Amino acid sequence: MQKRRCGLLLGSLLQAAIFAFGANAQSPSGQSAPSPTQLNLLYTAELWQNAQGGLRRGASYMNNVDVQLRIDTDAAFGWTGGRFWLEAFYENHTSTGAQYVGAVDQQSPIDAASKFDTIRLYQVYYDQTFGSTDVLFGIYDLETEFSVTKPMSLFLSKNLTWNTALDQSGTMPHNGSIGPGNYPYTPLALRVRQALSHQISVQAVIADAAADNPARPASNGVYISPRYGALGIAELDYTPSSTTKLMAGLWEMTSKLPLNTPSAQPRSTYGQQGVYVGGTTRLYAPANRRGLDVFFTYGASSPQVTNTVQSFNAGLVYTGPFDTRPHDKIGLSLNENVTPASYRQAQRANGQLVGSNETSFEATYRARVTDWLTLQPDVQYIINPGYNPAFKDDLLVGLHFEIGHLFDL
C-alpha cells in the first residue's frame, strides 16, 4: 500500500509539472541550435469505451507520465558522435486490454497490463557512432529499432508496433518479463548497426531474454539467468529514400520454455526461432512531406512454444490530408494473428476451445492541435479476440492525447 501511494504521489506531481509547463510552452523552432542537454516531459492519457464483445463492456482511463533526458556528448563534452539517453515512466494500474478486451496483444502503446501502479526506469543507454558503425549499450526498448517502419508508429494497437509473432515470443503461457524486450519490460542489450552503403545497412542485437526476475515482475533492474538466456535479432535494411524501406530479419531466444502440451503432460524445451519481412513506400505525394504511405510486415515463429505462429499486418497512412493541416495523419490498418495447431490441441486437451486466428482493424486520426497538445481518436474492431470463440467480436472506441514539451537545459 505504501508503494502504491508513493507511485500515485509521484505520478500526480509529474502530471502537475507537465500541465504547468505545457500551458506556457513555447515552440523551440525559433532557436538557432538545440541545447546539448534536453529534457522532455510527456503526459499521455487514453479514454476507452469497450462498446461490445471481449471480456466485458465498460470504460477505462489509462495515463502515463514519461520523463526523458538526452545528452549530446559532442556538444556537452567534446565526445564526437555520442549520445546518452535516460528515460523513466509512471503508469497507472488500469489495463484496457487485460480488463476489458482480452485480445492477444494490447490495444494501446501505454498499456502495461499490470495490476498495480508502475514506476520503471525504462531506458538507460549510451549510443556511439564510429564512422559508418553505430554501437548502443544499455537498457533499451528493442521494438524502437527492429521490425518497424515509420508509418506503423501512427497506430495505437501493439499488433502494429512489431509483428505479433515476435512480440509473443517467450510469453506462452505468460511468463512475466520473459520476452522480446519491449515496453514495459526492457532488457540489458548490445546493438550494433553497420552501414554497408548509403542505402543498405545491417543491424544486430543481443539482449537479456528476461528483462526482470519473472517471479517478481514488479522489480526493476537487470536480471541475468542461464535458464532464461538471451534473445538475438539480426536485420538487413534497404532504404533507397526517406519514404521507402525494405527489411528482413531473423531472431532466436535461448530461454527454457514450456511446450504446447496438455497440462497433465508438462514438458519444456530450450529455444525459439523466427523470421520477419516488411516494408513501406510512398504511393502518392501531392506536396513535400505530404502523401500516402503503404506498409506491411509478416512474421513467423517456431510453433512448439508459442500461441502465435504467424502474424501479418498492413495499412495505409496519409500525412497532411488537408492543406491547412499538413502535419495531421489519418490511417487504416489490419492485422491477422494465427495460432499453431499444437497450441490449439493442447488447449483443447485442457478443456479450452481455441480458434485458429484473431483479426483486427484500426482506424485513427492524429492531430497536432498546438505545440504541446496532440489528440488522436481511435476505433478498433477485433474478431475472435484472444483466439477465444466464446468471446463476441470486440468494438473499442478511444481518445488518445498527449501533453508535453521539450526543454533545453
Mean pLDDT computed over every residue of the chain? 88
Distances, alpha carbon 226 to alpha carbons 209, 252, 279, 309, 380, in Å:
10, 15, 35, 25, 40
CA–CA dist 110, 119 (Å, integer): 13
| Fold (CATH) for 125-408 | Porin (2.40.160)
| Segment 4-54, tens digit of pLDDT | 434 443 444 344 444 444 433 333 344 456 689 999 999 999 999 999 999
pLDDT score recorded for residue 16: 40
Annotated domain spans of the chain:
125-408
CA–CA dist 222, 350 (Å, integer): 35
pLDDT score recorded for residue 218: 67
Nearest to 297 by CA among 282, 275, 279: 279
| Segment 296-350, tens digit of pLDDT | 999 999 998 889 999 999 999 999 999 999 999 999 999 999 999 999 998 888 8
CA–CA dist 212, 197 (Å, integer): 37
CA–CA dist 335, 229 (Å, integer): 30
Paired strand residues for 245: 280
The residue among 108 and 228 whose pLDDT is bigger is 108
Q: What is the mean pLDDT of residues 347-366?
A: 93
The single residue listed with the C-alpha cell 542505402 is 199
Distances, alpha carbon 11 to alpha carbons 191, 272, 303, 311, 374, in Å:
32, 38, 41, 36, 20
pLDDT score recorded for residue 213: 73
pLDDT score recorded for residue 185: 86
Region of poorest pLDDT, from 130-144, 234-248, 263-277? 263-277
